[in-house]
Structure 1
Amino acid sequence: MDGFSGKLFFLSCALAARSFAQDFGQTQFICTSVPKDMDLCAAATMQSSGPAEDLKTTVLQLRETVLQQKETIMNQKETIRELTAKLSRCESQSLPGPGGRRPGAKNTMGDVSRGTADTLTQLGNTLQTLKQRLENLEQYSRANSTRPANSLKDLLQNKMDDMEKQVLTRVNSVEEARPAARNHTDQRNRVESTLTTLHHRITDLEKGKDSRPSDTFQLTFPLRTNYMYAKAKKSLPEMYSFSVCLWLKSNASPGVGTPFSYAVPGQANELVLIEWGNNPMEILINDKVAKLPFLINDGKWHHLCITWTTRDGVWEAFQDGVLRGSGENLAPYHPIKPEGVLVLGQEQDTLGGGFDATQAFVGELANLNIWNRKLSGTEIYSLATCSGKPAGGGVFSWTEGSVETFGGATKWTFEPCRSLN
């Protein structure tokens, strides 16, 4: 910087310092050089106003951004309120249902895929079935004067009529205006409880109309629900091998469902026979799976038998007395555990419960027997042709006293090899 420029720089700083000192008192200043041909006042104005203008511009931009964000937040809150209201309406119009099973979730009070009116209509259909059974008893009673008392029949008939009126009234009210889910659940519980009581009373009547053996009966599951089932009154013992045989009749599709399931504490799939969805029938032991070569959903009676031993997990599958398939490594060296619950017609997700309507058995089931040993092919053929019964090793026998029904499952007379069509 030459001498003249330096003097001009010093003078501009001095003038600026003196002017600001007079206005603001003791203040520190930072002086900058300006071109020698530039007006000092204009330079001073530029130096003092530039930062302020930048700051003002920044503040305005920030303020605009804040307003935009505030507007966005308000829109999001409104959207959340709308979604919450829609969700509340959906929840108020749906039936309560739970949780999961292989491979999906579970409900506990009916098939959630069905509407309220549809479910109650099904209960009405079940009542019609009961009425038909009662009419059959009346006809039998007229032909056999020593068979059940008219007073008891009249009492049951009156109760049946009352229940039918309640169900039909309930269906009409649901169709006109859907009630709260909780009230519907309470109503259905009362209906199902009364149905179960009626089934037991009618079964007692049917027992008295002849002197048939205690094992000549079948269980009928007419609807795919998660409240209709039967249960064995005692558990299975610990088993290192077993044979389970039964008669089945079904034309349900897809899949006949779960003829039986045995659950123990800590393992819901200790021993399960299931045909679910489009999958083939399977046997589960300790949650391990083997696919079975059964073809049974033709609406005809079939005799099924599965044998298994814990050594190497060897299994065999017989249909109508003929070996259809075999395999190994099915839960090898795992004994079937005791202290469990044997359920007929439903698959268990929890001990004695957690039923899923989509996996329920639909059809007829009879003569479920279990042995704690492997039956021979000859013994199984004798069972399928009704020419003999295995001796020894039975741990569960098919008798009316060993099975109790719930939720509308019914008992009918059945004699193997006389009801095959």
Structure 2
Amino acid sequence: KITFPAPRSVSNYARLGTTLAQDLSSFTLCLQMRTDMSSTSHAGVVSYAVQENHNELLILNKGRGISELFVQGGKGADLGALPVWDGEWHAVCATWRSTDGAWQVYTDGVLQASGSGLKVGGKVRSGGTWILAQDQETVGGGFDPNQAFSGELSQVNLWDRVLTPAEVGPDSCGQHGNVIDWATTNIEVFG
């Protein structure tokens, strides 16, 4: 696990030593998180940026107790209030597919929200930069202190397909993503 201490700061983040070798037309992103932050805090949890778009793939708490999923920027999917702001460990999984823009978000294996129409026909483009605990406004940087995350993150895994509800059960974060595998990915921690 990686700890991003409070008070939150643009100096505290981690960069994954990997990128996307190919564009993704579907994905499942899973992670484990623990935070003492308020659900009304604005905080980037996982951010993937390419030259064309700094919100290529982003999970962000927007404040007001609402989290959002962004794919290729634009308007994000409103994930509602995720029950993860209680200081305990939680598993979070987000899925998306290009064909109809269908998306889902699970916490601890339970479906919290779903929808469709998010970036229909789009792709998560290759060659970008993965940052944990900040929201990139430029590739690899442009952090805002009011969008920093404090707490702990672990088991960040990415698949190139939509996992089934059974696969994103409570034990999903012990699995190994076929695009990003937390167990074998080099991670550079700053701060």
Q: TM-score, normalised by structure 2?
A: 0.91
RMSD: 1.7
> Which residue of structure 2 aligns with residue 396 of structure 1?
180
- 4+ long deviations beyond 3 Å: none
**Pairing 1:276–2:62 present:** yes
Structure 1 unaligned regions, length at least 5:
1-217, 408-421
**Residue 328 of structure 1: how far off its partner (Å):** 0.4
Tell me how many residue pairs correspond in the alignment: 186
> Which residue of structure 1 aligns with residue 49 of structure 2?
263
Query: Per-residue displacement from partner, 1:2-29 (whole Å, max 9, x unpaired)?
Result: xxxxxxxxxxxxxxxxxxxxxxxxxxxx
Distance in 1 separating the partners of 2:42 and 2:90: 13
**Pairing 1:219–2:7 present:** no
Task: Report the AA paired with residue 336 of structure 1.
Answer: V
**Residue 399 of structure 1: how far off its partner (Å):** 2.9
Mapped contact 1:247–1:304 kept (Cα < 8 A): yes
**Residue 279 of structure 1: how far off its partner (Å):** 4.5
Which of 1 and 2 has higher RCO (CA within 8 Å, sep 6+)? 2
> Which residue of structure 2 aligns with residue 163 of structure 1?
none
Task: Report the AA paired with residue 341 of structure 1.
Answer: T
Distance in 1 separating the partners of 2:147 and 2:119: 23
> Which residue of structure 1 aligns with residue 150 of structure 2?
362
Distance in 2 separating the partners of 1:338 and 1:384: 25
Mapped contact 1:231–1:405 kept (Cα < 8 A): yes
Distance in 1 separating the partners of 2:173 and 2:156: 15
Query: Per-residue displacement from partner, 1:62-99 (whole Å, max 9, x unpaired)?
Result: xxxxxxxxxxxxxxxxxxxxxxxxxxxxxxxxxxxxxx
Structure 2 vs 1, CA of residues 382 and 249 (structure 1 numbering), >3 Å: closer, same or farther? Answer: closer
> Which residue of structure 1 aligns with residue 35 of structure 2?
250
SS in 2 for 1:358: helix
Structure 2 unaligned regions, length at least 5:
none
Task: Report the AA paired with residue 292 of structure 1.
Answer: L
Query: Per-residue displacement from partner, 1:253-310 (whole Å, max 9, x unpaired)?
Result: 2326111100001200100001033240111111130111312111011111111100
Distance in 2 separating the partners of 1:365 and 1:395: 18
Q: TM-score, normalised by structure 1?
A: 0.43
> Which residue of structure 2 aligns with residue 329 of structure 1?
117
Distance in 1 separating the partners of 2:129 and 2:164: 27
- Larger Cα Rg: Structure 1 or Structure 2? 1
Structure 2 vs 1, CA of residues 222 and 373 (structure 1 numbering), >3 Å: closer, same or farther? Answer: same
Distance in 1 separating the partners of 2:186 and 2:109: 25
Task: Report the AA paired with residue 354 of structure 1.
Answer: G
Name the structure where helix makes up a greater proportion of residues.
Answer: 1
**Residue 384 of structure 1: how far off its partner (Å):** 4.3
Name the structure where strand makes up a greater proportion of residues.
Answer: 2
Q: Indicate the percent of aligned positions where both proteins have the same amino acid.
A: 37
**Pairing 1:352–2:140 present:** yes
Mapped contact 1:259–1:346 kept (Cα < 8 A): yes
Task: Name whichever of 331-340 and 252-261 sits farther off.
Answer: 252-261
**Residue 315 of structure 1: how far off its partner (Å):** 0.4
Mapped contact 2:3–2:153 kept (Cα < 8 A): yes
Mapped contact 1:250–1:256 kept (Cα < 8 A): no
Distance in 2 separating the partners of 1:337 and 1:346: 20
SS in 2 for 1:260: strand
